[in-house]
Amino acid sequence: MNLLGRKKDKSAEAGGAAPADSHGDVGAADGDERTATAPKGRPTPKRSEATRKRGPVAPAPMTSAEARKRRKDLRGPKLSRDERKTDKVQRRADMADRRERMMAGDEAYLLPRDTGPVRRYVRDIVDARRNLLGLFMPSALGLIFVMLAVPSVQVQQLMSPIMLVLVLVMVIDGFILGRKVNRMADEKFPNNTETGWKLGFYAASRASQLRRMRAPRPQVERGTDIASRRP
């Protein structure tokens, strides 16, 4: 009897044999096909890769003492006091050498934000200029010290507008510096792909630091004609 338009199996129509059980050979064949076929979006693994066996995995430690012993084994042989002292001195010397090379402007040791000829050129522009932004931190600290040393209402009322004027002057100086940096960088590097906002912010952030605290260390003196220097 044909139920809901379903077609009978050809073997059942021919010999009247019952269809294979869902848990029989047909299911096993489907399971074999699923395991042999790789998932969607992945290439079919090679036979050598499919039959490759991984090495033994160490069981998880059962006690804290076993965990400490395993950490000691992974750490390697224990060093003596003199060896530890020598290793510490060597690491400090390496760190000092890397910092000195970074402060000197060595490209291999610079931070990613400071690498490239464009960023070096921007740093030279900032270092050769007398920036009002560099006076922001000392001025702000001085005003705060005055406000704490003389806690009177008149001083408080006087310091607030002075602080606002100082912030306004710093913003104007930063804007002028950003425009100058972008104009000179475009003239020196016509194929420059950095945005004006990034270069302007980089120049303003460097100019806001005291000259002796800038990293990398300034490579030009104040008043140097940067436009005539080669990149």
Mean pLDDT computed over 177-205:
92
Entry field: residues in the chain: 231
- Token code pair at residue 89: 């001195």
- Token code pair at residue 86: 């020598």
Is the pTM higher than 0.75? The answer reads no
* Rounded Cα distance, 110 and 216, in Å: 8
**Closest of 222, 52, 5 to residue 131, by C-alpha:** 222
* 203 and 122 Cβ atoms separated by less than 8 Å: yes
pLDDT digits (tens, 9 = 90+) for 87-140: 888 999 999 999 999 999 899 999 999 999 999 999 999 999 988 888 888 888
* Rounded Cα distance, 178 and 197, in Å: 8
Higher confidence at residue 22 or residue 76?
A: 76
Higher confidence at residue 80 or residue 17?
A: 80
HSE at residue 96, side-chain half, CA atoms within 13 A, is: 6
List C-alpha distances in Å: 11 to 8, 14, 20, 97: 8, 5, 10, 84
Range in 17-21, 49-53, 181-185 with the lowest mean pLDDT: 17-21
Q: What is the mean pLDDT of the chain?
A: 77
CA 80 and chain centroid, separation: 37
What are the φ and ψ backbone dihedral angles of 134, each rounded to 5 degrees? -65, -20
Q: Per-residue pLDDT for 57 more than 70?
A: no
* Rounded Cα distance, 132 and 156, in Å: 24
Highest mean pLDDT: which range of 32-46, 92-106, 215-229: 92-106
What is the per-residue DSSP string for 115-170? -SHHHHHHHHHHHTS--GGGGHHHHHHHHHHHHHHS--HHHHHHHHHHHHHHHHHH
| pLDDT more than 70, % of the chain | 71
**Closest of 162, 171, 106 to residue 139, by C-alpha:** 162
Give me the residue label for tokens 């921007």. Answer: 122
Mean pLDDT computed over 29-54:
55
Q: Per-residue pLDDT for 58 more than 70?
A: no
Q: Per-residue pLDDT for 207 more than 90?
A: yes
Give me the residue label for tokens 């036979």. Answer: 47
226 by Cβ neighbours in 10 Å (0-12 / 13-18 / 19+) ranks as middle
Highest mean pLDDT: which range of 24-38, 77-91, 143-157, 165-179: 165-179
* Rounded Cα distance, 186 and 123, in Å: 15
Res 110: pLDDT: 92
Residue 75's pLDDT band (cuts 50, 70, 90): low
Higher confidence at residue 51 or residue 186?
A: 186
